[in-house]
Amino acid sequence: MNETTELSGWRRRKVLIAAAAGNFTEWYDWGVYGVVATIIAAQFFEPGNPTAALLSTFAVFALGYLARPVGGIVFGRIGDKHGRKRALSLTILLTCGGTAAMGLLPTYDKVGLLAPVLLLVCRLAQSMGAGGEYASAIGFVYEHSPTADRSKNVSKLIATSFIGIMIGSVFARIASAVLGDEAFAAYGWRILFLLGLPLAAIGFYLRSRADETPEFEQLKRERAAAKEVATPLADALRSYRPLMVTFMIATASYALISTTITSYLVTFLQQTNGLTANQTYTASIVSNVAVIASTLVVGLYCDRIGLRTTFIVSGTIVAIVAVPALMLAAHGYTGGIVGSAVIGICKGMLAVPALLALSQMFPIAVRITAGALAYNVVQAIFGGTGPAIGVTLNELTGGPNGFALYLAVLAAVTTLTAWCARNAFDRSDNPDYHPAALAGCPQTTATQTGQ
């Protein structure tokens, strides 16, 4: 990589702060929905059947995930055609706007069936923004980083998203303690959503002042000189489908475990373990601390051992410990804390290779589009349905075993995919790797500039 792409001094801090501030905000917004899922179930759906209401809440959650591939296509095209910076500025406005609107919605007892409809509309807006966020933000940091420090810098960005999610639990814990459970369930939950507005303003300001990545600026100059019209979606679907499919299979376990921590753990601890709201918020905070620590540690080693090896090691460990961790989390307050921490470590281990692969497996000309589309499709399939499947499996089995086995199987698939798809992962670890060669298509100048 050219020396001008290296992060150093104030420029390094400016890039990381701009990406991290928006990332923190968007994933705080995303995580709040899961933290107050049981309250949303009571407020926005017909009373009388708590399990049906909760399933409806997570059905809205799952439907929201269907908008994420759309967001990935829209913002991926913007990022690959007009720049990472523009995509980052737009995603934060859409995500935070949808979140803030949730805090103003009328409830079921006020407007009946219109309440869940409005909730779904807000969730779709939030999801579209989130669909373009990760690929854009990670690509932004990845392209500003020297080759030897890419996973370390990306892991720091990933950690800010988990901090944002954790802060949602922290604020819920504080608001619940200050207002009391009854007042928090009645109106206090709205405060968590409305906080998205000032956070969005800060994130947008910082991102609007950040520099575009040198790699994209070079690509833009080459396109202009060649009078080339960028068609990232068509190029990604035509030339990089094998890589996209490999990526989706390898990251299915992360898609599931990411929603396990973000949007299902609180519900799991309350329903399966019988913990109080405050106890579950505490366990969620502990779990997210474990996620953050694990992410930062794995980020230090991923550059050294390679993307493929990191996938294999992480998938194997999660496949082994998923069942005992969730079984432990289902028994008592101490078990809930320890089990949540272990499953948090597992999430961090899978997060680094899964999210680094968003940029590392695809060339610069289609990096945001291909990464965002593949990532959000697998998130829609396995992440969006995760909480609803978790509730259903544990209702059927009367405990945590059904969902835990589901997670363990997907983690084993991650290991097997990384082991078998040696060419895709080994080549992506090579600085001279060109994904076009793997896909069987010619290497254009624009493709070559990305690696």
35 has pLDDT over 70 = yes
Kindly report which listed range (5-9, 102-106, 265-269) carries the lowest average pLDDT score: 5-9
423 falls within a domain: yes
pLDDT for 378: 92
pLDDT single digits (tens) 92-129: 888 888 888 989 999 888 988 898 889 888 888 888 88
Residue 126 in contact with residue 30, Cβ under 8 Å? yes
pLDDT for 441: 39
- Which CATH number do you get for residue 16? 1.20.1250.20
Tokens of 129: 């923004």
254 falls within a domain: yes
pLDDT single digits (tens) 319-372: 999 999 988 988 889 999 999 999 999 999 999 999 999 999 999 999 999 999
Choose between 27 and 234: higher pLDDT: 234
pLDDT single digits (tens) 381-433: 888 777 778 778 877 877 677 888 889 999 999 999 999 988 887 655 554 44
Residue 135 in contact with residue 79, Cβ under 8 Å? yes
pTM score of the predicted model: 0.81
Tokens of 75: 């913002």
Measured between alpha carbons, how far is 342 from 322 in angstroms, rounded to an integer?
9
- Structural domains counted in the chain: 1
Report the Cα–Cα distance between both ends of the chain, in Å, rounded.
8
Tokens of 167: 């802060």
Measured between alpha carbons, how far is 217 from 201 in angstroms, rounded to an integer?
26
223 falls within a domain: no
Rounded average pLDDT over 22-50:
77
Measured between alpha carbons, how far is 56 from 40 in angstroms, rounded to an integer?
10
Measured between alpha carbons, how far is 4 from 88 in angstroms, rounded to an integer?
22
| Domain extent for 108 | 11-210+232-448
264 falls within a domain: yes
Tokens of 64: 């929201």
451 has pLDDT over 50 = no
The residue type found at 448 is Q
227 falls within a domain: no
191 falls within a domain: yes
Measured between alpha carbons, how far is 348 from 346 in angstroms, rounded to an integer?
5
Choose between 203 and 308: higher pLDDT: 308
2 falls within a domain: no
Phi-psi domain of 438 (left: phi exceeds 0; alpha: psi -120 through 50; beta: other): alpha
Sequential DSSP letters for 261-285:
IIIIHHHHIIIII---HHHHHHHHH
Cβ density class 308-319: b for 16+ within 10 Å, e for less: bbbbbbbbbbbb
Tokens of 63: 């439907």
Residue 104 in contact with residue 39, Cβ under 8 Å? no
Q: Select from 290, 257, 276 the least CA-distant residue to 333.
A: 276
How buried is residue 70: exposed, middle or buried, by Cβ count under 10 Å (0-12/13-18/19+)?
middle
Choose between 442 and 164: higher pLDDT: 164
216 falls within a domain: no
Rounded average pLDDT over 142-157:
88
* Average pLDDT of the chain to the nearest whole number: 83
* Residues in the chain, overall count: 451
Rounded average pLDDT over 236-256:
94
Measured between alpha carbons, how far is 106 from 250 in angstroms, rounded to an integer?
41
Residue percentage of the chain with pLDDT more than 90:
33
Which of the residue ranges 25-34, 39-48, 101-110, 271-280 has the most confident prediction, judged by mean pLDDT?
A: 101-110
Rounded average pLDDT over 302-327:
93
- Cα 48 to the chain's mean position, in Å? 33
Residue 268 in contact with residue 321, Cβ under 8 Å? no
57 has pLDDT over 80 = no
pLDDT for 263: 66
Rounded average pLDDT over 209-231:
89
449 has pLDDT over 50 = no
